[in-house]
Amino acid sequence: MSAIFYHSETQRCEAELSLCERRRKGEVTTQILPYTTLHVAEDYHQKYLLQKEEWIMEELGLEPGQELIDSIQAARLNGYVAGFGELASFNAEVTSLSLNTEVADYVREIIQQKGKRN
């Protein structure tokens, strides 16, 4: 199950609209729920797939904890390593992610491999 948590009625309406067509086709099981309290998961759950790539974590100077939780760079990379996002999107933002060539090429390889499986 996945969920979208909204803070306002406007956000709820936007979420409903974005999922409406997919729900009709039976493609989405996402629930839309009001935001109440955020419970932060344990460190080992944070950016889980990125953490499995220990050498990338070292290259980026990231360790489990609040810095990793707050890192936009880590969040974006975790998504790409998980197979979300396309090569063109990654290439468009690779400079803003401040990655060295080795890390960038490795992530490109992962994206291409996962794309072939989908």
pLDDT score of 53: 94
Provide the 3-class DSSP secondary structure of residue 44.
Answer: helix
Please give the chain's pLDDT, 118 residues, in tens: 688 899 999 999 999 988 886 677 666 678 899 999 988 888 888 999 999 999 999 999 999 999 999 999 999 999 999 988 899 999 999 999 999 999 999 999 999 998 776 5
pLDDT score of 28: 65
Annotated domain spans of the chain: 3-34, 43-117
| pTM, entire model | 0.70
Question: How far, in Å, are 57, 71, 85 from residue 108 at the CA level?
Answer: 16, 20, 11
Q: Give the CA radius of gyration of the chain.
A: 17
Q: Which two tokens stand for residue 31?
A: 């629930």
Query: CA 14, 115, 96: angle at the middle one, nearest 5?
Result: 65
